[in-house]
């Protein structure tokens, strides 16, 4: 009986580990980096301290270290990460380049698609 219990416990742990390994973890806030997709949407409504980013099927609030008012009116927005092209990182490792300025990225906050849609409508 004890052996059967041990086998069930091991099987449960193995299945849990397999499920966790197959589920991609979202990027945590802070200095973690994400790989930028060609399929992006930036929502800059009220973009003084944050901007919304849809990167493929993932959604984020990008927080800036200081006000980034140039993001509201810039024709072009581009994330730049020195030494990590194609990545977006927090902890001031990345910048949002605008027509006339650049803004340091403080952190990336993963959010749900629903929260993204709600914030984008505001």
pLDDT tens string 9-67: 444 444 444 333 333 334 444 458 999 999 999 998 777 899 999 999 999 999 999 99
Residue 11, domain member (yes or no):
no
Kindly give, in sequence order, each residue whose CB lies less than 8 Å from that of residue 75, ignoring residues fewer than 6 positions away: 99
Residue 111 lies in a domain: yes
Count of structural domains within the chain: 1
Which residue do the tokens 């952190």 mark?
107
- Residue 75 lies in domain: 26-121
In a domain, 110, yes or no: yes
Instruction: Say yes or no to pLDDT of 4 above 50.
Output: no
Break the chain down into helix, strand, coil percent, rounded to 5.
30, 35, 40
User: Quick check: is 81 in a domain?
Assistant: yes
The answer as to whether 98 is a domain residue is yes
The C-alpha atoms of residue 94 and residue 105 are separated, in whole angstroms, by 6
To 10 degrees, the CA torsion angle through 24, 26, 31, 35? 70
**Residue 97: what pLDDT?**
96
DSSP state of 48: T
Q: Give the C-alpha separation, 92 to 79, whole Å.
A: 12
Please tell me whether residue 50 adopts helix, strand or coil conformation: strand
- For residue 40, report the phi and psi dihedrals to the nearest 5 degrees: -125, 155
In a domain, 15, yes or no: no
In a domain, 3, yes or no: no
**CA–CA separation, 84 and 112 (whole Å):** 26
Residue 20 maps to a domain: no
pTM for the predicted model, two decimal places: 0.73
Q: What is the pLDDT of residue 12?
A: 47
pLDDT at 105 over 60: yes
């Amino acid at each position: 009986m004890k052996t059967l219990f041990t086998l069930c416990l091991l099987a449960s742990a193995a299945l849990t580990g397999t499920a966790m390994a197959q589920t991609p973890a979202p990027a945590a806030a802070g200095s973690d980096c994400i790989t930028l997709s060609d399929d992006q949407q930036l929502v800059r409504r009220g973009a003084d301290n944050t901007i919304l980013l849809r990167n493929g099927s993932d959604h984020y609030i990008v927080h800036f270290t200081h006000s980034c008012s140039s993001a509201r009116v810039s024709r072009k927005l581009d994330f730049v990460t020195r030494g990590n092209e194609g990545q977006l990182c927090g902890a001031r490792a990345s910048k949002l380049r605008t027509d006339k300025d650049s803004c340091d990225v403080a952190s990336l906050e993963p959010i749900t698609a629903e929260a993204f849609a709600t914030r984008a409508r505001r």
